[in-house]
């Protein structure tokens, strides 16, 4: 876990206790916007953000009483009400806008309504009926910025991306238990988030839970592994791939705990499945999941790049090749490096696809739109000397909605190709 800021005096805010970090006042002696009233501190924008995030340069002034993690009333440059949001002067994202409503005063009612709206979508779209593993809340897409909630049976994993939302942890857990009696709750956050936002999640007990997704069983460790322990976002893509796997030789690269390969084998009737994963623990989990489903797959612990180079050199070919790497472009500063990795990985992947075979390639880099990702694959195809025919594009399931003013929420992109 990452380090947190030294302890400071704790005070009471509208949404519970808060740490009193040194306040950043962008304009000295700034007066509150005309008409401001109510219990919330205020923040005034210098310029309105294009989406629900405001960076420090976009702020004009902030109430001296506003502390890191507080909910604040937000006003535009003319002093007119703009909405409410979480304020954190130490974060790159100084304001996370929860909504354009103003005058929020009942925290329980607000978060209860957002959770109910999120759950209703998963019920109405048949997601809860199809799978014991799904995303209950998806950040800005469900009006809960800085929060992801994944459900694995009776276990709910809360992954926090903002200090403000972390301050709501106890309230969120209480509201979840009221709606799902007897449920267990796990809190998570990445070291990067903890460092940038200024909080720390205390490690909890290790849990293991077995879930079924479209009839395929997985053992998930919500307190360990990547993200929340499993990737619910690929559920629909895994099912769709299984329909192309009958009698085929399938290669799943960056397989994590074996999702695509298990679907291809158990539901699709693939002749042979090879799952490649760098993390030895995840590779062992893939083997265990295969045993749980009473199927066989070849689990290889290896780095994708040298593995694919060696297979191309050996003239190995597969009927179906899946590339599902981790986020290769995490920031604008690392764009050039990540772009080249995407091109190189796809070039190597294309080189081991049998003539007329299926190539399914993914990007989970939110700052890369589908059009750019397609250009990466185009460059890879040219370098590999293969003709690539795209017949479908897809993304995450309906339990991963994204806000219209936050396109980065549409982070998962998939290109379904035939290769000649």
Contact 93, 70 (CB under 8 A): no
In the chain, the domains with their CATH numbers are 10-99 (2.30.130.10), 107-197 (3.30.750.80), 231-419 (3.40.50.150)
**What is the tens place of the pLDDT at every residue in 341-384?**
999 999 999 999 999 999 999 999 999 999 999 999 999 999 99
What does the chain come to in residues? 420
pLDDT in tens, 37-92: 888 999 999 998 999 999 999 999 999 999 999 999 999 999 999 999 999 999 98
| Residue 207, Cβ density class (10 Å: 0-12 exposed, 13-18 middle, ≥19 buried) | middle
Q: What is the pLDDT of residues 117-165, one digit of tens each?
A: 999 999 999 999 999 999 999 999 999 999 999 999 999 999 999 999 9
CA–CA separation, 320 and 249 (whole Å): 6
Helices (H), 61-156: 107-124, 127-130
What does the pLDDT look like over 169-196, one tens digit per residue?
Answer: 999 999 999 999 999 999 999 999 999 9
Kindly state the helix (H) or strand (E) to which residue 76 belongs, with its residue range.
none
Burial class (CB in 10 A: 0-12, 13-18, 19+), 37: exposed
The pTM for the full model equals 0.89
For β-strands 353-363 and 318-323, DSSP reports them as parallel
Average pLDDT over residues 294-321: 97
Dihedral Cα 157, 161, 163, 168, nearest 10 deg: -30
Distance separating alpha carbons of residues 242 and 172, to the nearest angstrom = 37
């Amino acid at each position: 876990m990452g380090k947190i800021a030294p302890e400071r005096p704790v005070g009471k805010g509208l949404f519970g206790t808060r740490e009193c970090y040194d306040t950043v006042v962008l304009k000295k002696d700034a007066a509150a916007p005309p008409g401001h009233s109510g219990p919330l501190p205020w923040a005034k924008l210098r310029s309105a953000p294009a989406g629900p995030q405001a960076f420090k340069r976009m702020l004009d002034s902030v109430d001296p009483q506003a502390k890191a993690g507080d909910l604040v009333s937000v006003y535009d440059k003319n002093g007119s009400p703009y909405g409410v949001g979480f304020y954190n002067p130490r974060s790159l994202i100084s304001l996370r806008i929860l909504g354009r409503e103003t005058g929020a005063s009942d925290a329980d009612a607000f978060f209860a309504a957002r959770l109910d709206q999120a759950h209703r979508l998963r019920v109405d779209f048949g997601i809860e009926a199809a799978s014991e593993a799904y995303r209950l809340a998806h950040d800005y897409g469900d009006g809960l910025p800085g929060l992801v909630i994944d459900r694995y049976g009776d276990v709910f994993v809360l992954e926090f991306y903002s200090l403000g939302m972390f301050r709501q942890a106890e309230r969120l857990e209480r509201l979840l238990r009221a709606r799902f009696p007897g449920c267990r709750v796990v809190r998570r956050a990445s070291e990067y988030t903890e460092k940038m936002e200024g909080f720390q999640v205390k490690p909890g007990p290790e849990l293991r839970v077995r879930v079924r997704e479209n009839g395929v069983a997985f053992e998930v460790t919500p307190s360990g592994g990547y993200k929340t322990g499993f990737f619910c976002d690929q559920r629909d893509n895994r099912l769709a791939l299984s329909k192309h796997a009958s009698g085929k030789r399938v290669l799943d690269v960056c397989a994590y705990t074996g999702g695509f390969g298990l679907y291809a084998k158990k539901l699709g009737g693939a002749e042979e499945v090879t799952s490649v994963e760098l993390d030895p623990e995840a590779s062992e989990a893939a083997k265990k999941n295969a045993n749980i489903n009473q199927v066989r797959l070849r689990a290889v612990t290896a780095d994708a790049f040298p593995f694919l180079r060696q297979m191309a050199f050996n003239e190995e070919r597969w009927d179906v090749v899946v590339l599902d790497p981790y986020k290769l472009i995490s920031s604008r500063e690392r764009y050039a490096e990540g772009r080249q990795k995407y091109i190189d990985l796809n070039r190597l992947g294309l080189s081991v696809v049998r003539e007329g075979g299926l190539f399914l390639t993914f990007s989970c880099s939110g700052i890369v739109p589908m059009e750019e990702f397609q250009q990466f694959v185009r460059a890879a195809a040219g370098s590999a000397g293969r003709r690539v025919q795209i017949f479908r594009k897809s993304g995450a399931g309906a339990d991963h909605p994204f806000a219209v003013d936050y396109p980065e929420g549409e982070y998962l992109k998939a290109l379904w190709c035939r290769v000649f």
